[in-house]
Structure 1
Amino acid sequence: MQVPGSKSITARALFLAAAARGTTVLRKPLLSDDTEGFAEGLVALGYRVDRRPDVWTIEGLPEGPPVGEAEVFCRDGATTARFLPALVAAGKGVFRFDASAQMRRRPLGPLTRALRELGVDLTHEGQEGHHPLTVRANGIKGGHITLDAGLSSQFLTALLLVGPLTGEGLQITVTDLVSAPYVEITLAMMRRFGVEVRREGDTFFVPPQQYIAADYAIEPDASTASYPLAAAALTGNSVTIPGLGSSSLQGDVRFAEVLARMGVAVEMTSDSVTVTGTHRLRGLTVNMRDISDTVPTLAAIAPFADGPVRIEDVYNTRIKECDRLDACAENLRRLGVPVSTGRDWIEIHPAQPHAAEIACHGDHRIAMSFSVTGLLTPGITLDEPGCVKKTFPGFHEALANLRAAWL
């Protein structure tokens, strides 16, 4: 099954392309609400972005946005809302950012505090630490900062990405870090665009150095791949995802390892992963701190395991598009499944789900995950099926085609 391009890689590539002098070509970028919003944010900032279905071309400018004043609406996109304020801070001008009500609820504070420590003049127009935000940019000198990235690795990624654009470079000491594999994606992509970050323990040393424009292919989205992989595991069928494997940049490819622990047959090559269901799912306890975007996927198939499924160390899922722990628990209970939660964990007990309407809370991952539950539970409906447009506009058709191919 073909999976759309990675949202995380597309967003980072757009930042790097805008920051690199010259023309960058992105091949097979994700076409979704989030990435379109990021690209339109760059256009609002004056960058030249040519978008064709499979190829996007961006004219970069290391000095910062070509315009001196702009307003950017970030939609629901966390990468847009967190990366672009860092990008403009390295330039000169006045830039105002706002976002959807959903994104306004999500935190910015650790990032904006760090930018202020670096001398950036910025103002939260409403609630402190949240959008809307105005940046009065005059470049970033650089220096040493301490950052808490325990709520989102995107705060660290934003600072790493902007580091080469500062006058003296950055030294970033991290006191806590969640979703560490996403930071590895950032470092690998910065390397591909010509900048090597040195890490010593909890400190990252980012040199002041010019990015080099690149011709860059976007790999499929590993978080999105979790849905067909889970579908195969649940129904006893087989699916292969080309373009994702042991050499993937994305940590979420390790969701396949979780399925293997549950007794599912998994075959992984350097550039593909195949899952074959065995008509049995074992219960397990699993720490998903580093692959937390796949928590709803596991929660959605957990009722069919032969023992409890306990997912631990995932507090950061409470500040995603919605509180995903509570959303998973709410929907499992709607389906008649026994479930309990704590601050950073959820435990799901075996049960045969019954028909119910799923409350998506505007969250694409809740909608896609419980659509997989519906493969073995007739009568499941979604209150907001269209919210999948955030990362996979064609999801429902793709799942239906996959199901038809298995019949």
Structure 2
Amino acid sequence: MTVIDIPGSKSVTARALFLAAAADGTSTLLRPLASDDTEGFLEGLGTLGYEVERTAGAWRVTGRPAGPGAATADVYCRDGATTGRFLPALAAAGHGDFRFDASPQLRRRPLGPLTDALRTLGVDLRHEEAEGHHPLRIAASGIKGGALTLDAGQSSQFLTALLLLGPLTAEGLRITVTDLVSEPYVEITLAMMRSFGAEPTREGNVFTVPPTGYRATTYAIEPDASTASYFFAAAALTGREVTVPGLGTGALQGDLRFVDVLRRMGAHVDMTADRTTVRGTGRLTGLTVNMRDISDTMPTLAALAPFAEGPVRIEDVANTRVKECDRLDACAENLRRLGVTATTGPDRLEILPGTPGPAEIRTHGDHRMVMSFAVTGLRTPGITFDDPGCVRKTFPGFHEAFARFRDGA
């Protein structure tokens, strides 16, 4: 059995940084993820005037309930979607003039549903170039609050940003959601808000957030379930056994449900309160699976699919077309480069059994292309990547950790 220590969750770290920055007092975040995305978030907080003290395994954030300490700021969000969506909401609750820009990759990703909602709440906001995309400017003067309707069908991060904002408004928020993807990420948000003293509630598609503010706390970041998926898939493929401590039945992250997909394909899965173990059984069956709620693990399954005994059909993942790249087309493109038959539709990907051959994977700068097709490489010598270093976005040490698994260390 191989025990893999997975670094902290990117999603949880980003939410914890927002909550700590908004809280009254100094919060300590334990085992946060250190990666390009979270470094960008920290840099953005610093530019906005928040104080962060970093030590090994712990970050201390001094909160500012009244908003950013800087009166003006120009924030560069790098490639980080959470940075580019959460920090404008945080800044909008304060007072000052703030500009946000991002990498060409993040500039392409949608922002409009969030910025339209902020405008509905009275925020003075304008996009400098393409409407609904970075760069943008905010002339912040606090937010009264109120009711709004939101389409979160492209990204649950739009809803999360508004939920996180709610306790900082004068009167609270009432958000009616007309469409929602990746719903488990919203449940993470609600649970974490409560850990910092907020009192959000949900009734069906209506979310109510009172203006409670936040209280500082000590918060432990759990391992990243999306990152764990590559090692679980590797175990299922190779017939070996992998245990990830810190992720079990009590985990917040919905992407841990990926192990249920592996179980359906024939892997043995054992979960306790604080760890998950996957063991390959030497056989993988095909299946049809709806991955709407765990779409970040769609590329992991796509990379594993050629080794199944029957077709693998992944459905209801249209939102993966507006991630770091169009992941549906990118997965199909790379599978074809490996000699595997793959077809796509507007929201689906179907992969037929095959024997992948050596090829260079086109990553499109997307960390998940590299980490997913590293799984394929366990059974396919000669796979290389045009940009292997893009894993720094979420797991800078991925190649070393995966090599230790491959070598049986």
Structure 2 length normalisation: TM-score? 0.99
Q: 1:219 aligns with which of 222, 233, 242?
A: 222
- Secondary structure in 1 matching 2:407: helix
Q: 1:337 aligns with which of 313, 336, 340?
A: 340
- Secondary structure in 1 matching 2:83: helix
Q: Deviations over 1:264-315 (max 9, x none)?
A: 0000111111000011100000000000000000000100000000000000
Distance in 1 (alpha carbons) for counterparts of 2:362 and 2:84: 25
1:114 aligns with 2:102: no
AA in 2 matched with 1:41: G
Q: 2:108 aligns with which of 97, 105, 108?
A: 105
2:252 maps to which residue? 249
Provide structure 1 residue ranges, at least 5 long, that are not aligned to the other structure.
none
Q: 1:35 aligns with which of 19, 32, 38?
A: 38
Distance in 2 (alpha carbons) for counterparts of 1:181 and 1:347: 24
1:126 aligns with 2:120: no
Q: 1:62 aligns with which of 60, 65, 68?
A: 65
Instruction: Kindly report which structure 2 residues correspond to 1:66-215, keeping only aligned pairs within 5 A, or say none.
Output: 66-215=69-218
Q: Deviations over 1:174-228 (max 9, x none)?
A: 0000000000000000000011111122110100012010100000000000000
Q: Deviations over 1:340-392 (max 9, x none)?
A: 10000000000000000000000000110001100000000000000000000
Distance in 2 (alpha carbons) for counterparts of 1:122 and 1:364: 31
User: Deviation at 1:60?
Assistant: 0.2
**Contact kept in structure 1, 2:127 and 2:135, CA below 8 Å:** yes
2:49 maps to which residue? 46
AA in 2 matched with 1:46: G
**Contact kept in structure 1, 2:270 and 2:277, CA below 8 Å:** yes
1:303 maps to which residue? 306
Provide structure 2 residue ranges, at least 5 long, that are not aligned to the other structure.
none
| Amino-acid identity (%) | 71
Q: Deviations over 1:96-134 (max 9, x none)?
A: 000000000000000000000000000100100000010
**Contact kept in structure 1, 2:321 and 2:328, CA below 8 Å:** yes
Once superposed, which parts of structure 1, at least 4 consecutive aligned residues long, lie more than 4 Å away? none
Structure 1 length normalisation: TM-score? 0.99
* RMSD over aligned Cα atoms: 0.6
2:368 maps to which residue? 365
Distance in 2 (alpha carbons) for counterparts of 1:246 and 1:346: 29
**Contact kept in structure 1, 2:164 and 2:189, CA below 8 Å:** yes
Q: Deviations over 1:127-162 (max 9, x none)?
A: 000000101000000000000000000000000000
Distance in 2 (alpha carbons) for counterparts of 1:51 and 1:31: 10
**Contact kept in structure 1, 2:114 and 2:158, CA below 8 Å:** yes
User: Deviation at 1:51?
Assistant: 1.5
1:319 aligns with 2:330: no
2:349 maps to which residue? 346
2:387 maps to which residue? 384
Aligned length: 406
Distance in 1 (alpha carbons) for counterparts of 2:262 and 2:145: 44
Distance in 2 (alpha carbons) for counterparts of 1:263 and 1:18: 44
Distance in 1 (alpha carbons) for counterparts of 2:87 and 2:314: 33
AA in 2 matched with 1:155: F
2:287 maps to which residue? 284
1:5 aligns with 2:8: yes
- Secondary structure in 2 matching 1:405: coil
- Secondary structure in 2 matching 1:311: strand
User: Deviation at 1:53?
Assistant: 2.6
AA in 2 matched with 1:228: F
1:404 aligns with 2:394: no
